[in-house]
Amino acid sequence: MAKRTVLDFMRMKRQGEQVAWVTAYDYLMASYAEQAGVDMILVGDSMGMVILGYDSTVPVTMDDCISHCKAVRRGAPNTWIVGDMPFLSYQASDEEAVRNAGRFLKEAQVDCIKLEGGRRVASRIRAITDAGILVMGHIGLTPQSSSQLGGFKARGRDIDSAREVIKDALAVQEAGAYALLIEAVPPQVTQFIAKKLDIPVYSIGAGPCDGQLLICADMLGMYQAFTPKFAKKYANVSSVIVNAFQQYISEVKTGIFPSDEYLYHIKDNEEDFEKLFKEFS
């Protein structure tokens, strides 16, 4: 399949064709996602929790993101890649936001960046877009500000909160974003926004719209600390891995592994090797 462009995503929205995308953080996972034919890949700052073992996304650095985006690009050379701007890479000023967004493109060859927030980051979205970089907005539950929001809680469930989410969505489009991701919002609100906006609207835990995102470690059953309500599990990879490690440990300890088929065989005859060993004994 040819690598998608922003025009494909606009066309898919117009034609009602769903976009299916996942997160990936390394070469291997990215290559599996590309083989499977995902429409795009997010190198999310969720790497902080599922790859780096932090208890939030806050400690993730620009260098972490760039390094993982490079690996994902190597694994998925023909897939649209979204680089996720980590906490404090865009909050301080428009200028810093542009410089850091630019690093994703220059150093890791991603196709666009994503940042969290609605009205409060409108000037950042405008500045990055004016620098020629495609921006995807991210509203609703925004994990980088989860402590301000009182934890990883759904948004837009009452009228006041839904109004805020809708205002944020309008502000993101108005600021020049080419797409919007909505997280953990009821489907009624998401569908209203997806119809109202011209840009594609994608969901993670926000119901049907122009496409769906899931975190690979959740959908594959790899991340054991916590699974969000919206994450459907398509596999139980953690138990496959633990079982394989346990079988390996047992075979090493009982001498079953390595058996003959896993050995390199000598090319000269045994007696010559015996003589060689004698030289050193």
Would you please indicate which residues are annotated as catalytic (active-site) residues? Answer: 183
18: amino acid identity, one letter: Q
Q: How far is the CB of 205 from ligand KIV (least distance, A)?
A: 9
The Cα–Cα gap between 232 and 128 comes to 34
How many Å apart are CA 207 and CA 220, to the nearest integer?
Answer: 20
C-beta of residue 72 within 8 angstroms of C-beta of residue 81: yes
Q: How far is the CB of 47 from ligand KIV (least distance, A)?
A: 7
Nearer to ligand KIV, 199 or 270 (CB): 199
> 84: how many CB neighbours lie within 10 A of its CB?
27
SS3 at position 71: helix
Q: Closer to ligand KIV at the Cβ: 98 or 113?
A: 113
- Specify the length of the chain in residues: 281
Which residue ranges make up the annotated binding site for 3-methyl-2-oxobutanoate?
45-46, 84, 114
Q: How far is the CB of 109 from ligand KIV (least distance, A)?
A: 19
Q: What residues make contact with ligand KIV under the rule CB under 6 A?
A: 23, 42, 44-46, 84, 138, 143, 181, 183, 204, 215
In the complex with ligand KIV, which residue's Cβ is closer, 197 or 206?
206
Minimum CB distance to ligand KIV, residue 231 (Å): 10
- Residue number with the smallest Cβ distance to ligand KIV: 44
**Is the distance from CB of 68 to CB of 25 less than 8 angstroms?**
yes
Q: Which residues does the annotation place in the binding site?
A: 45-46, 84, 114, 116
Give how far the C-alpha of residue 167 lies from the chain's centroid of Cα atoms, to the nearest Å: 26
Residues linked to residue 192 through DSSP beta bridges, in sequence order: none
Q: Which is nearer to ligand KIV, 103 or 138 (CB)?
A: 138
